[in-house]
Structures are given as structure tokens and as C-alpha cells.
């Protein structure tokens, strides 16, 4: 029955953070990145599904506050206006924040687009004590309307039915357009260019509106129309109290006035319930004095739990592995093969598994930070500090995400508007130790600094941070950009991360980590095994084995055991320093000696390179970067 | 004599003011208007960041952070802030 399918394109348009991607995921079954801060989605994403003989293609877009684009991402959303007029628009509206969300809706209506109105986050409106009268909405706007709760998939089947039944996004007549005053001015502007408003495509209509609002350069004719409009508006505004010095302001005022009327007829607020804990929490988390300490404490908590709590289940895994390698040693004949199996492969696989708890805890924290709404607050707190590095506070988001994985973090740099800043952050990001690098670091710290592995690890992280700060500073003085950027960041409401979404996220991250880190670390450990076991015979200063067996013949006593131990460790050290690993380290020594490093540190630095993933980043993302930078 | 303007950046945390006007017209001010900063709108200053710069405001049912330079574009009615 392939042939009987009809195709339909459905575009998801709405304010940032209103739940477009959540809805997209619910509609298509995909698992795209969702986060409780504005600007998560930065590019057009497509996904499909079938419903009642229809093949539906859904297109998720970056959020936009209005049709007057302010960021490059919003401009992406605009490019689809005409393409979509043969498909369908879903205008996602955050019900908890109706007034501002409706600005986009009303603008769409003004230029003759008839979207399906999806009142998402309906649960939040209900808890505030509000209700939307859908029939009234449909009567007034001429659009289909529905309420949904994306994370729990409430209203999704009904929405699919609506999508299938709805015909076309564009509407020649404008059921709920601009007020007559403005509408006639707009039609006159079109006429002055020899066009008819009602025959124009949505994007052309928008152009006319922009000329009226003053954001587009106007012809002399249009200027005159604007001046007339302005003087008559100021005249009538003198009667009311609200006046303004420019037309754009009058236009926005007019729109908000219509929105206010619309809401008063379509929304019933039985009793307004204020959620006080959220306000208090916000006052606390962004407090002038406590804000910073809380942020730092949170970051320390993230790291502390990642390492210390994570090490408990890691210990169990280690025990299991130890048992496995012991039984392996017992049953396999001694030799190079068993050495490779046990010290190379098993150690490698184990090396990955042992870190799974740490990595999962790290991702759990990142999910909580992102879904709760704290990310935006962190940006708010960090902005001034980041400015001293010549970066926008938003750079904190990719930096924090980078602790998990560098690749999505590079994508997240799109929230930085200045391309030069974006480039600088992209080059700083590989310096942030991501979760896949953590095992390598722990492994090497354990191998080379057996006495204080965790201290060295923390030191490494700290040095890392310093290096990032210094390089950030240096890069700022090298590439000072003249463009002043804007802050203008909506603080999303605090939300509880849903257990389901967190679980799914962790599951995904775990399998991703095992796959990705698995290959890198497995190869790494086998390489290290090879370098530290070859050449097989190393000239020793004395025959340690002989001496040990002689000692052990003298019968068991505490002193002798100690001596044996000392001899054994001396033997191992001498052997190790004869192997390739040490030779490479010694080769590197002249480079690192001036800083006061020995060959062990040199090796450590050396092995950090395969773990640094810039190379992989380059290959995978190079085309994306191209788009990103030279857009 | 230059009259010192009373802008959103001058609003003390915890106080509520009424927007008088946004005088300039560029993409930034247009955005502020689309976000609801319009003559007659009530805005409450919530708090400022530790280093004093970005400020948060409550407007039309949601919360937004602005830098001082951005808040300065929005002039407020001079009135008794406690009223
Ligand atoms: N309570 C509630 N939360 C929701 C609902 N839909 C989405 N959310 C949450 O809202 C936040 C934002 O969701 P996203 O799907 O990332 O929003 P978006 O519109 O794609 O955001 P951008 O890509 O940044 O424009 C997430 O934390 C979601 O869990 C809903 O119906 N109810
Ligand atoms: Mg999104």
C-alpha cells in the first residue's frame, strides 16, 4: 500500500524553550537534545512518522521570539516561511507564559499563516490555576488548537489527528490580522511598490510589515506613509497615556494590546496560584553574595561525587575483574598470549567498565543542571567573569557540557553570536577534560603516581582550568572582537527533571561511552601493554629472581617477606625502565625537563594526546564547523 | 543642562517600575519590544549578579536577564517606587 500514502511536511515553530524539541521527540520517537534553557536547538532537524495513510515529515527549528530575527538561529526559522506555506505549521506555545509566546503567533496570523496552535506545557498552566478555552481560541483565530504535555505525551495522538485533517498553512484572508489602522497602511505600502498585499507570499508580507515597523529601509513613498501613520498614532495616543517615539514601539504595543484582549477572552484563571518556592530558590541561587559560592560548591559537588561516590561501584567492578584475571592466570598457561589477554585485553575492557559509574554520575549531574533551569542562572552569574576573558557568559554552557563530551559542546557553541568568540571557544573546548578522557587520566595517574593518584588527578584538573583561563585571556588579546554582544537571556522556570528522561539519557550515554571510550581505551591499553612489556629481556643490575628464590628458601618471616617485596619492586622498576615506554619517555625528556618533569610526566603528557580528541572532532565536525563559522 | 534619564538599570532590586519609552530603534530595541518592554508595562527588578552586571527582571509573567547597557535603553516613568 506504499502508493496510497500522501506526504505532508510539518514545521515546528515557537519561542525558545517552549518545548518544540520535546514535542518533536514525542511525535517522531526520536531522542533529540532537550534542555531547560533557551537556545538548545541550533539547527533544522527532520524526523518522520506515519499516521493514517500519511507520511509525515516533522521539522524542528531553533526557537524564535518573533519574526524579526535577532540571532542567526532565528533567521534559520524564518527561511522556512515560504517553503512551509505548502505544508503545515505547528505553532508551539508555552501555556505557562502565554502573553509573550503569543507575539509570534499573532505575527504569523498577521502575515496570513494559519498554524495549528499547540498549547504545550499545559500542566504548568493548570498548576497556576488557569485553563484555556479551545473553542474560543479556534473561533477567534480560525486555527485549529490543542493542548499538550510533551514529556508525558498527553495530547499527542489527538495532535496527529489534527495534523492529518488540516489542509494548508497559508490563508489568503487574514482572520485575525493587524488592526485596521495598520492593515490599511500596510496595504498602501504594498500598493506603492505595485503589489497587492493579499497576493503576496508570507515572507513578502513580512517585508511590508518590517518596512512599516521601520526595521527595513523604506522608499520615499513608504516613508511618507509611515510619517502619516506615526503622527496620527501619536495624536490618538495622547488621549491614552502610552505614547512612544517610534513606530516599531507602536506596532508592538498594538500587538500586545490585541494579545491582552485575546487572553482575557480565552483564558480563565480561577485563582492565581503563585509558586513561591521557585521564587525563593531563584533568589537564593542567584543571590548577590551566595550566588558564586553556590555555583562553585555545586561544581565541586559534581566532581567530588563523580570521583568518590563513583569509586564505590567501581571498586566492585574492579574486584570482579581481579577475580577474573586471577582465574585467568590460574587456568591459562603462562606466556605472551595470556599476558596479552590478562594484562592487555582484560585490563583494557576493565579500564573502560571501571569508569562507567564515574561517567554516569557526571552525566546525571549534567542532566540535572540542564533540565532544572540552573544553566541559565549559571550563565547569569558567570557573565561578568567570562567577560574578563572576552567571552559571553553563555560560553559557560558549552564549557560545562564539554565535561561530558566535547562534540555536543562544539555544537552548543552556536549560542554564541559572535563568530570569532565561537571560534575561540571551540578551540578552548578540547582542553576541557571530557568524560572519555577521565579514565585515561586516572589510569595514567595510577600507573605513574601510585602514591597519590587522586591528588595528581585533581592537580591535573586544576592545571587544566588554569591553562584554559590563561589561553582564554591570551586569545582575547590576540583576537579582540569589536562586536559587542548582547546578554538578553530568558531565565526559564525551574522544572523537575523527569526520572524517565534522565534514565533514557543515562542509558544512551552509557552505551555511547562504552562504544567510544571502549575503542580508544582498549587500543590505548594494548599499546601501553605492548610498550611496557617489550623488549622482553632487559639487562638488570642483578639477578633479582635468583635473589628472591634464595631469600624465600630461608623460610617465612616478616623481615624476609619485606626484603622480597623490595627486591620485586626494584626488579619491576628496572624492567620497566628498560622497556620502550621508558625509552619514549626519555626521548621526550629534553622537551619537558625545563618545566621540571621527569620521564613519567613526559609519558603522561604524551598519552594525553590520543585522549584529547581534537583530531576526531576535526574529522567528524569539519563540515559542520564550516557551516558554523562561515555562515 | 542634561537631564539625567531614569532607566531600568537604575531600578533597585525588589522595586517595580513602569516603562515610559524605548527611544532608539534598532534590532536590539525591537527585540526588547517584542519581549514586552513597552510603554506602560510594569517591570520588577529581581536581583543583580555578584559582580553587579547582568540584572534580572520580572516582566509579563516571566523572568529575563539583561546587562546594564541593555537595561539603559529602557526609560522608566519617574514615580514613587514604593507606590
Ligand atoms: N512541565 C512541562 N515541561 C515541558 C513540557 N514540554 C517541554 N517541557 C520542558 O521544557 C524544557 C524545554 O524543552 P525543549 O523541548 O528543549 O524546548 P525547545 O522549544 O526545543 O527549546 P529550544 O530548542 O531551546 O528552542 C525541557 O526542560 C522540557 O522538559 C510540558 O509540556 N510540560
Ligand atoms: Mg529545541
The Cα–Cα gap between A118 and A159 comes to: 8
The model's confidence at residue A91, banded by pLDDT at 50, 70 and 90, is: very high
Highest-scoring range by mean pLDDT, A29-33, A343-347, A407-411, A514-518? A29-33
pLDDT tens per residue across span A18-62: 999 999 999 998 888 888 989 888 888 999 998 888 899 999 999
| Residue A206, C-alpha cell as written in the block | 513580512
Q: Which domains does chain A possess?
A: 6-165 (3.40.50.300), 180-269 (no CATH), 291-478 (no CATH), 499-630 (no CATH)
Q: Residues 370..409 of A with a Cβ closer than 8 Å to B: which?
A: 376, 379-381, 383-385, 387, 393
CATH number of the domain at B74, please. 2.30.30.90
- The predicted model gives A81-96 an average pLDDT of 84
Q: Residue B57 has what pLDDT?
A: 93
CA distance A493 to chain B (A): 8
Q: Which ligand is nearest to the CA of A14?
A: 1
Mutate to test the interface with B, among A252, A377, A388 (most CBs of B within 10 A): A252
The Cα–Cα gap between B83 and B17 comes to: 9
pLDDT tens per residue across span A132-169: 999 999 988 888 999 999 998 999 999 999 998 877 65
Q: What value does the mean pLDDT of chain A take? A: 78
DSSP code of A491?
Answer: E
Hey, are the CB atoms on B50 and A283 less than 8 Å from each other?
Answer: no
Mutate to test the interface with A, among B5, B8, B33, B57 (most CBs of A within 10 A): B33
| Residue A511, C-alpha cell as written in the block | 552505551
**Which of A146, A79, B1, B19 lies closest to B10, judged by CA?**
B19
A292 vs A276, which has greater pLDDT? A292
User: In this model, does residue A588 exceed pLDDT 70?
Assistant: no
- The predicted model gives A360-367 an average pLDDT of 84
Task: Tell me, using a 6 A CB cutoff, whether residue A490 lines ligand 1.
Answer: no
Which DSSP string do the residues of B22-71 spell out, in sequence order? Answer: E---SHHHHHHHHTT--TT-EEEEEEE-TTS--EEEEETTEEEEE-HHHH
Output the pTM of the full model. 0.80
- The predicted model gives A384-400 an average pLDDT of 85
Q: Give, rounded to a whole angstrom, the gap between the first and last alpha carbons of chain B.
A: 29
Q: Which domain holds residue B21?
A: 3-79
Distance A587 CA to ligand 1 centre (A): 54
Task: Tell me, using a 6 A CB cutoff, whether residue A35 lines ligand 1.
Answer: yes
pLDDT tens per residue across span A519-536: 766 776 677 777 767 766
- The predicted model gives A294-306 an average pLDDT of 84
* Interface contact A70, partner B, CB < 8 A: yes
A207 vs A556, which has greater pLDDT? A207
Q: What is the 3-state secondary structure (H, E, C) of A515-550?
A: HHHHHHHHHHHHHHHHHHHCCCCCCCCCCHHHHHHH
Highest-scoring range by mean pLDDT, A378-392, A526-540, A544-558? A378-392
Closest residue in B to A295 (Cα) is B50
Q: Residue A481 has what pLDDT?
A: 62
Task: Tell me, using a 6 A CB cutoff, whether residue A149 lines ligand 1.
Answer: yes
Q: Are A552 and A560 in contact (CB under 8 A)?
A: yes
Hey, are the CB atoms on B46 and A65 less than 8 Å from each other?
Answer: no
Angle between helices A247-266 and A98-110 (to 10 degrees): 110
What total number of domains does chain B contain? 1
Q: What value does the mean pLDDT of chain B take? A: 84
Q: Ligand 1, from A12, A17, A33: best to mutate by most atoms within 8 Å of Cβ?
A: A17
**Which of B31, B8, B54, B45 lies closest to A392, judged by CA?**
B54
**Which of A207, A208, A246 lies closest to A227, judged by CA?**
A246
Task: Tell me, using a 6 A CB cutoff, whether residue A39 lines ligand 1.
Answer: yes
| Residue A318, C-alpha cell as written in the block | 574492579
| Residue A552, C-alpha cell as written in the block | 624465600
Hey, are the CB atoms on A242 and B53 less than 8 Å from each other?
Answer: no
Q: Residue A175 has what pLDDT?
A: 66
Amino acid at each position: 500500500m506504499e502508493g496510497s500514502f500522501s506526504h505532508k511536511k510539518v514545521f515546528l515553530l515557537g519561542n525558545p524553550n517552549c518545548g518544540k524539541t520535546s514535542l518533536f521527540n514525542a511525535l517522531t520517537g526520536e531522542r533529540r537534545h532537550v534542555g531547560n534553557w533557551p537556545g538548545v536547538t541550533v539547527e533544522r532537524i527532520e524526523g518522520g512518522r506515519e499516521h493514517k495513510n500519511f507520511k509525515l515529515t516533522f521539522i524542528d527549528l531553533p526557537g524564535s521570539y518573533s519574526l524579526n530575527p535577532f540571532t542567526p538561529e532565528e533567521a534559520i526559522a524564518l527561511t522556512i516561511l515560504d517553503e512551509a506555506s505548502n505544508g503545515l505549521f505547528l505553532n508551539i506555545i508555552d501555556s505557562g507564559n502565554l502573553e509573550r509566546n503569543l507575539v509570534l503567533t499573532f505575527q504569523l496570523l498577521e502575515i496570513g499563516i494559519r498554524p495549528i496552535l499547540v498549547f504545550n506545557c499545559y500542566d504548568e498552566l493548570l498548576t497556576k490555576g488557569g485553563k484555556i478555552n479551545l473553542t474560543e481560541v479556534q473561533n477567534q483565530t480560525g486555527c485549529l488548537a490543542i493542548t499538550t504535555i510533551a514529556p508525558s505525551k498527553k495530547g499527542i495522538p489527538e495532535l496527529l489527528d489534527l495534523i492529518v485533517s488540516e489542509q494548508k498553512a497559508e490563508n489568503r484572508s487574514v482572520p485575525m490580522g493587524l488592526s485596521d489602522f495598520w492593515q490599511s497602511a500596510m496595504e498602501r505600502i504594498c500598493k506603492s511598490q505595485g503589489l497587492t498585499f493579499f497576493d503576496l507570499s508570507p515572507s513578502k508580507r513580512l517585508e511590508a510589515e518590517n518596512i512599516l515597523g521601520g526595521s527595513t529601509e523604506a522608499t520615499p513613498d513608504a516613508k511618507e506613509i509611515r510619517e502619516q501613520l506615526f503622527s496620527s498614532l501619536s495624536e490618538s495616543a495622547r488621549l491614552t497615556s502610552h505614547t512612544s517615539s517610534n513606530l516599531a514601539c507602536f506596532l508592538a504595543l498594538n500587538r500586545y494590546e490585541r494579545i491582552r484582549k485575546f487572553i482575557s477572552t480565552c483564558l480563565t484563571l480561577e485563582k492565581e496560584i503563585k509558586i513561591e518556592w521557585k521564587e525563593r530558590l531563584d533568589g537564593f541561587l542567584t543571590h548577590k553574595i551566595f550566588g558564586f559560592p553556590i555555583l562553585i560548591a555545586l561544581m565541586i559537588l559534581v566532581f567530588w561525587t563523580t570521583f568518590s561516590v563513583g569509586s564505590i561501584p567501581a571498586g566492585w567492578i574492579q574486584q570482579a575483574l581481579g577475580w577474573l584475571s586471577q582465574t585467568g592466570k590460574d587456568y591459562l598457561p603462562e606466556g605472551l598470549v595470556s599476558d596479552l589477554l590478562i594484562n592487555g585485553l582484560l585490563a583494557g575492557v576493565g579500564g573502560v567498565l571501571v569508569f562507567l559509574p564515574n561517567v554516569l554520575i557526571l552525566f546525571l549531574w549534567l542532566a540535572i543542571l540542564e533540565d532544572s533551569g540552573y544553566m541559565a542562572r549559571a550563565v547569569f552569574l558567570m557573565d561578568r567573569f567570562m567577560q574578563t576573558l572576552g567571552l559571553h557568559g553563555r560560553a559557560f554552557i558549552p564549557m560545562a557540557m564539554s565535561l561530558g563530551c566535547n562534540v555536543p559542546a562544539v555544537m552548543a557553541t552556536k549560542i554564541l553570536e559572535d563568530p570569532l568568540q565561537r571560534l575561540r571557544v571551540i578551540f578552548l573546548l578540547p582542553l576541557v577534560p571530557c568524560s572519555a578522557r577521565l579514565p585515561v587520566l586516572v589510569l595514567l595517574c595510577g600507573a605513574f603516581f601510585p602514591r597519590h593518584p587522586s591528588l595528581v588527578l585533581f592537580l591535573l584538573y586544576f592545571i587544566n582550568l588554569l591553562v584554559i583561563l590563561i589561553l582564554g585571556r591570551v586569545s582575547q588579546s590576540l583576537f579582540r572582537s569589536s562586536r559587542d554582544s548582547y546578554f538578553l537571556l530568558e531565565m526559564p522556570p525551574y522544572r523537575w527533571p523527569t526520572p524517565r528522561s534522565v534514565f533514557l539519557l543515562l542509558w544512551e550515554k552509557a552505551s555511547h561511552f562504552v562504544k567510544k571510550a571502549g575503542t580508544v581505551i582498549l587500543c590505548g591499553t594494548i599499546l601501553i601493554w605492548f610498550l611496557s612489556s617489550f623488549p622482553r629481556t632487559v639487562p638488570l643490575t642483578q639477578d633479582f629472581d635468583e635473589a628472591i628464590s634464595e631469600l624465600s628458601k630461608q623460610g617465612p618471616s616478616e623481615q624476609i617477606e619485606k626484603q622480597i617485596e623490595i627486591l620485586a619492586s626494584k626488579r619491576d622498576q628496572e624492567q620497566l625502565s628498560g622497556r620502550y615506554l621508558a625509552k619514549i619517555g626519555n626521548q621526550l625528556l629534553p622537551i619537558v625537563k625545563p618545566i621540571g618533569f621527569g620521564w613519567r610526566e613526559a609519558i603522561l603528557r604524551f598519552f594525553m594526546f590520543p585522549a584529547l580528541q581534537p583530531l576526531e572532532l576535526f574529522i567528524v565536525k569539519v563540515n559542520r564547523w564550516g557551516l558554523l563559522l562561515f555562515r | 543642562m542634561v537631564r539625567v534619564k531614569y532607566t531600568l538599570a537604575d531600578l533597585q532590586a525588589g522595586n517595580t517600575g513602569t516603562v515610559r519609552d524605548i527611544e532608539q530603534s534598532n534590532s536590539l530595541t525591537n527585540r526588547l519590544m517584542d519581549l514586552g518592554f513597552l510603554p506602560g508595562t510594569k517591570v520588577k527588578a529581581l536581583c543583580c549578579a555578584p559582580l553587579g552586571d547582568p540584572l534580572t527582571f520580572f516582566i509579563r509573567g516571566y523572568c529575563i536577564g539583561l546587562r546594564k547597557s541593555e537595561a539603559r535603553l529602557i526609560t522608566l516613568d519617574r514615580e514613587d517606587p514604593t507606590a
